[in-house]
Structures are given as C-alpha cells and as structure tokens.
Amino acid sequence: MAETLILPQTQNREEIYESLFPQIEALLFGEEDFVANTANIAAALREAFGFFWVGFYFVKDNQLVLGPFQGPIACTRIPFHKGVCGKCYTDAQTIIVPNVDEFPGHIACSSASKSEIVVPVFNEPGDIIAVLDVDSDKLNDFSEADKIGLEKVVRLLSS
C-alpha cells in the first residue's frame, strides 16, 4: 500500500519532525523487515526535508555496508575507523559536522556534500546495527533539533 506524507507548511524542523514521527511510526507498524523499514525511513526523511542524501549503512563483516538510501550514488563500504560514519559507530553517539571539509578523515562520497549528521541505530540489546547518514549541500545545516528528531526516528527501528 502506498503512503502519502502530510507535512506542515513550515521551515521549522522541530514542527516537521513532530508531524513526521507518528507517520513514520504508522508506516513501520507491523512490518518487521529491517531493509524495508530503513528504505521507507530514508524516503520519508528526504521527502520531508529535501536533504541532499539520506541513507543507512549496516554493520556487516566488521565494516559499514551501504543499505537503503535516497540521493546520488554513494560509497559502498566504510571501515569502522574511517569518516563520519565510522566515528559515529566507534563513538556510539550522534555526530553533527557543520563543514565536512574540516572533519579529519572525511570520506567524500560526493563533493556536493557540505555538512552531515550521522546517528547510530541500536538493537534491543544495545549493539549498533547500523548508522543513519544524512548529508546536506549547505554548510552548517544540522542542529540539535535534527539530532533529537533523528534519534527519535531511529529508535523506532529497535522497538
């Protein structure tokens, strides 16, 4: 069944997350397939905010491997100790990067990416099973509102 997002006519991200959260929750309700759920989350976030790139990297074979995403083609594999995604994994916490060119070891999958936020996805026992990576083509595009909103969204994947 196709779904349509109902989004407020505002640029206020807190209001958009508030409106989006129950819709994503309903979209995931009853669906246990992790790939399907991450695909729908990536699509919903890109549609709601118009981010340059939104996607997931799954923990596989001691590295992060590209999962469902929306946007231009992406890096397929990222070592745990490389880039923003790798740092998010090793630190087990959300990372906001206002300017990716100033992040040591940034992996430039696209030169159009200017800022980034990466959020760890935990399973029930508390292990990181994926990271949500969101890129913007604008500098300093992510804030505490995005951190709070995206962390709330990814918690739906472990419930």
The pLDDT of residue 112: 83
Contacts of 71 (CB under 8 A, 6+ apart): 46, 51, 52, 53, 54, 55, 135
Domains of the chain in sequence order? 13-158 (3.30.450.40)
Over the stretch 61-93, which tens digit does the pLDDT of each residue have? 999 999 999 999 999 999 998 999 999 999 999
Q: What gap in Å lies between CA 84 and CA 73, rounded to an integer?
A: 17
The pTM is what?
0.94
Over the stretch 14-71, which tens digit does the pLDDT of each residue have? 999 999 999 999 999 999 999 999 999 999 999 999 999 999 999 999 999 999 999 9
DSSP letters spanning 119-139? EEEE-TTS-EEEEEEEEESST
